[in-house]
């Protein structure tokens, strides 16, 4: 069977020259493939020759010496990276941005300044500014950055009370932690820039979480009552001020009216006195007539008597006899 198969195969003559040509072509393909490389747009290429730093290339197509003489490491200097502590983003493309889930509780348990414990989760965002420092100044910059971040966070949180960590001190902690992390990174020449430190979930330990929740609810209720009281104050005080202003203005108007009236009466009396001094009889009679002119129209029953009349009693009986009111 095998003999028949071998007899059926065509006899293709291969000369040493053809073999050499094939080797040359394969070598040329290998050289072409291994001598050119592409650096992505968000990275720079650090070229190492015989294991030592040689130079840095920008994004694009470049040539290198093959056969392992030149090796290129791409460093993403234009991308923002992050490290997560106490949690992990599901489906993260950068797997080293989180620690082992079994270590989350250990790295997030921090003792505060008042000797309480808090579970602090945080994330740092950073960029690689110097590719040479990032690769060659520190043995493992990723682990070093995590150790620096954890150490600084424990120091900053340890200077504050648990109430500050859980409530009002978050922004201050973030700002101080970012400043201290950047100082340590610069000291070790890691070639990194810390863009942001952000606290995520900050919770008390599980055994006392219920008590802390009750305290937080009480504080929120207190703030709500204070806001309600301030609202009522802001509503009532302007209203009372408006009422007071109206009362003051009304009193001032009444006072001005009374003063003007008194001044007018005084001026009228002075003018009348001057006329009385000039002609007492005429003035007296004029006043008498003016008074009668004002009084008589409002009197219903009028009795006119002669100067010689002795008594008015008989005349008054006439009204009673006629059924008229006196």
Backbone angles phi, psi at 46, to 5 degrees: -100, 115
Task: Indicate whether 272 belongs to any domain.
Answer: no
Query: Contact, 276 vs 283, CB < 8 A?
Result: yes
Are residues 83 and 146 in contact, defined by beta-carbon separation less than 8 angstroms? yes
End-to-end CA distance of the chain: 164
Domain co-membership, 141 together with 173:
yes
- Domain-located, residue 87: yes
Number of Cβ atoms within 10 Å of the Cβ of 99: 19
Residue 168's CATH number: 3.30.479.30
- The DSSP code for 279 is -
Classify residue 297 by its DSSP letter. Answer: G
Q: Where are the beta strands (DSSP E) in the chain?
A: 36-39, 44-49, 52-57, 60-63, 70-75, 81-85, 109-111, 117-128, 192-203
189 is a domain residue? yes
Q: Is residue 291 part of a domain?
A: yes
Q: List own/partner pairs for 107-113 with CB under 8 A and 24 or more apart.
A: 107/150, 109/205, 110/153, 110/154, 110/157, 110/158, 111/154, 111/158, 112/157, 112/158, 112/160, 112/161, 112/162, 112/165, 113/158, 113/159, 113/160, 113/161
User: Quick one: 107 and 176 in the same domain?
Assistant: yes
Q: What is the pLDDT of residue 5?
A: 45
Distance CA 71, CA 135 (A): 13
The 8-class DSSP code of residue 65 comes to: -
Pair 48, 87 in one domain? no
What's the token pair of residue 189?
A: 């020449």
**Separation CA 141–CA 125 (nearest Å):** 14
Tell whether 70 and 128 lie within a shared domain: no
Of the candidates 35, 56, 75, which is a domain's last residue?
Answer: 75
Q: Confirm whether 246 is domain-assigned.
A: no
**212: in domain:** no
Contact indicator for 189, 133 with CB cutoff of 8 Å: yes
Assess whether 69 and 179 both reside in one domain. Answer: no
Listed in sequence order, the residues at least 6 apart from 167 whose beta carbon sits closer than 8 Å to its beta carbon are 216, 219
Q: pLDDT tens digit string along 214-233?
A: 877 887 888 889 999 888 88
Cα angle: 52, vertex 57, 61; to 5 degrees: 120
Q: How many domains does the chain contain in total?
A: 3
Whether residues 85 and 57 share a domain: the answer is no
CA atoms of 150 and 173, how far apart (whole Å): 13
pLDDT tens readout for residues 271-320:
777 877 878 887 778 777 778 777 777 777 766 666 666 665 555 555 55
Q: Quick one: 85 and 71 in the same domain?
A: no
pTM of full prediction above 0.75: no
Residue 296 inside a domain? The answer is yes
Same domain, 165 and 104: yes
How far apart CA 118 and CA 169 sit, in angstroms, is 13
Same domain, 62 and 94: no
- Compute the distance between CA of residue 69 and CA of residue 198 in angstroms, rounded to an integer: 43
Asked whether residue 198 is assigned to any structural domain, the reply reads yes
Q: Which of 43, 58, 75 is the last residue of a domain?
A: 75
> What are the residues whose beta carbons fall under 8 Å from the beta carbon of 146, sequence distance 6 or more?
83, 85, 99
> Are both 113 and 199 inside the same structural domain?
yes
DSSP structural state of residue 63:
E
The DSSP element (H or E) to which 50 belongs, if any, is none
Query: Are residues 37 and 125 part of one domain?
Result: no
Chain-centroid distance of CA 309 in Å reads 101
Range of the domain at 20: 15-75
What parts of the chain have a pLDDT lower than 70? 1-14, 18, 20-24, 26-33, 91-99, 302-326
Distance from C-alpha of 270 to C-alpha of 211, rounded to nearest angstrom: 87
The answer on 160 and 199 residing in a single domain is yes
- Residue that terminates a domain, selected from 150, 176, 204: 204
Distance CA 296, CA 61 (A): 123
Are 136 and 53 in contact by the 8 Å Cβ rule? The answer is: yes
């Amino acid at each position: 069977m095998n003999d028949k198969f071998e007899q059926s195969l065509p006899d293709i003559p291969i000369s040493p020259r053809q073999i050499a040509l094939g080797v040359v072509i394969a070598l040329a393909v290998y050289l072409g493939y291994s001598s050119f490389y592409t650096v992505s747009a968000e990275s720079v290429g650090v070229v190492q020759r015989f294991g030592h730093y040689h130079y840095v290339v920008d994004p694009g197509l470049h040539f290198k010496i093959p056969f392992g003489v030149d090796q290129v490491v791409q460093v993403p200097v234009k991308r923002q990276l992050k490290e997560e502590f106490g949690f992990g983003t599901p489906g993260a493309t950068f797997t080293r941005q989180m620690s082992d889930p079994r270590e989350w509780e250990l790295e997030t348990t921090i003792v505060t300044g008042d000797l309480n414990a808090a579970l602090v989760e945080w994330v740092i965002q950073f960029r690689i500014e110097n590719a040479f420092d990032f690769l060659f100044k520190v043995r493992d910059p990723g682990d070093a950055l995590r150790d620096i971040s954890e150490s600084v966070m424990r120091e900053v949180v340890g200077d504050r009370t648990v109430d500050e960590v859980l409530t009002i001190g978050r922004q201050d902690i973030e700002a101080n932690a970012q400043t201290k992390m950047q100082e340590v990174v610069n000291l070790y020449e890691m070639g990194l820039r810390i863009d942001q430190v952000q606290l995520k979930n900050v919770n008390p330990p599980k055994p006392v979480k219920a008590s802390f929740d009750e305290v937080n609810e009480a504080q929120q209720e207190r703030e709500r009552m204070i806001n309600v009281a301030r609202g009522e104050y802001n509503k009532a005080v302007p209203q009372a001020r408006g009422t007071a202003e109206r009362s003051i203005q009304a009193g001032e108007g009444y006072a001005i009216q009374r003063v003007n009236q008194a001044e007018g009466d005084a001026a009228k009396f002075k003018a009348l006195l001057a006329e009385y001094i000039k002609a007492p009889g005429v003035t007296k009679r004029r006043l008498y007539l003016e008074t009668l002119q004002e009084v008589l129209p409002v009197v219903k029953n009028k009795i006119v008597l002669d100067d010689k009349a002795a008594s008015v009693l008989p005349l008054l009986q006439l009204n009673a006899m006629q059924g008229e009111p006196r």
